[in-house]
Amino acid sequence: MKPRKKNKFFTFIFSFCPGAAEMYMGFMKNGFSILAIFALLCGAITTMRIDFLLFILMLVYCFGFFHARNVAGLDDESFAAFEDKYIWEEFVTTNAFKVKAETLRKIGAYALILVGLSMAWGYISDIILRYIPEGYWDDIYPLLDNIPSLVVAIVLIVAGIILIRGKKKELVGEG
DSSP string of 123-170? HHHHHHHTTS-GGGHHHHHHHHHTHHHHHHHHHHHHHHHHHHHHHHHH
Residue 105 lies in a domain: yes
pLDDT digits 0-9 by tens, 15-47: 999 999 999 998 898 899 999 989 988 887 887
Residue 19 lies in a domain: yes
Domain boundary pick from 92, 119, 142: 92
Residue 1 lies in a domain: no
Q: Are residues 123 and 62 in the same domain?
A: no
Residue 133 lies in a domain: yes
Q: Are residues 86 and 12 in the same domain?
A: yes
Q: Are residues 137 and 167 in the same domain?
A: yes
Q: Under a CB-based contact definition with an 8 Å cutoff, are residues 48 and 119 in contact?
A: yes
Q: Under a CB-based contact definition with an 8 Å cutoff, are residues 18 and 41 in contact?
A: no
pLDDT digits 0-9 by tens, 100-156: 667 777 877 887 787 777 778 777 877 877 887 777 777 777 777 777 778 877 887
- φ and ψ at 166, to 5 degrees? -65, -40
The residue range of the domain holding 157 is 101-174
User: How far is residue 60's CA from residue 43's CA, in Å, rounded to a whole number?
Assistant: 14
